[in-house]
Amino acid sequence: MLLQTKHVQIDNICLVCHEEAESVFHSLVQCKAATLCWQIHNPNISTNETMEFAEWLERNLSGQPKQATAKIITLCWSIWRARNDLVWSNKSWNSMKIIAKAWEYLSQWTTAQEVMNPTLTEALAIKEVLSWAKEWTEKTTTTESDCLVVIQLIRSATSLRSRLGKVIMECRTLVRELNNVRLYFIKRFANMSAHELAHVSRMYPDRVFDWGSIPVNVQSCISNESLE
């Protein structure tokens, strides 16, 4: 479709159903494979009327709760992904696979948003450090965090029925099992090295740094703090 707008001569017939001219609306709504997905997901979603895709999407999202909106958008994405897999890799998806992939992606995305919660992220980081401390039984491990909420939760007996609560409970268990761990709250301005390293780590996933490869701003923070 996009190639045609750039005057590239290609066959405009839908490569999924081989029956109708391809358009965004046809591919995502009225192609047989797409229509079957919508019928399985929600029979109340109309696929009969022909219109611009943006109008169709606006109609079907109007008044919908957040979760239903997320499902419609994710299913659109999965239908398009299946179409591209067929066109570019000659791999065919049936409707059940398209729907299953949509819900799998939505679940992963939802989990990722939860993990991005700063308090939960800090708790997960402390849990990871405590897990490492198990291997260093001959040394005392000092763990510092600038998240007072997490430190207080680990030290308290408060019960939380959430993912954060589960991680906190795991941290408490590790602290009880280890006698070589010291857990402290430290204000951020006194621990800028860790703050800077956490910030840049998002740009270098799965990267292990040594002194020669560590980003300059982090190296500078470490040097300054070591002199204080």
Q: What's the rounded mean pLDDT across residues 35-41?
A: 97
- Of residues 160 and 222, which shows the higher confidence score? 160
List of residues 6+ apart from 31 with CB closer than 8 A: 14, 16, 17, 20, 83
Check whether 125 has a pLDDT greater than 90: no
| Whole-Å CA distances, 49 to 25, 35, 53, 55, 175 | 10, 12, 11, 11, 62
- Residue 183's nearest CA partner among 130, 136, 128 is 130
Nearest to 75 by CA among 49, 92, 58, 97: 97
Burial 209-228 (b: 16+ CB within 10 A, else e): eeeeebbeebbebbeeeeee
Q: How far is CA 100 from CA 37, 41, 42, 93, in A?
A: 10, 11, 14, 11
pLDDT at 57 over 90: yes
The reported pLDDT for the residue numbered 114 is 60
Please name the residue that has the structure tokens 């409707």.
Answer: 95
pLDDT of 55 reads 95
User: What is the rounded average pLDDT for all residues in the chain?
Assistant: 83
Specify the 3-state DSSP secondary structure of 20.
coil
Q: Above pLDDT 90, what percent of the chain?
A: 44
Non-local CB neighbours of 150 within 8 Å, separated by 6+ positions: 119, 122, 123, 126, 168
What are the start-end ranges of the H helices in the chain? 2-5, 24-25, 32-41, 53-61, 66-89, 95-115, 118-133, 148-155, 163-177, 192-201, 216-227
Query: Once rounded to an integer, what is the mean pLDDT over residues 104-113?
Result: 80
Asked whether the predicted pLDDT for residue 9 surpasses 70, the reply is no
Q: How confident is the model at residue 37 (pLDDT cuts 50, 70, 90)?
A: very high
Whether the predicted pLDDT of 137 surpasses 70: no
pLDDT recorded at residue 7: 54
Is residue 2 pLDDT above 60, yes or no?
A: no
Identify which of 132-141, 151-160, 217-226 has the greatest average pLDDT: 151-160
What is the pTM for the complete model shown? 0.52
User: Coil, helix or strand for 218?
Assistant: helix
Compute and round to an integer the Cα radius of gyration of the chain.
Answer: 26
pLDDT over 60 at 196, yes or no: yes
Is the pLDDT confidence value at 53 over 90? yes
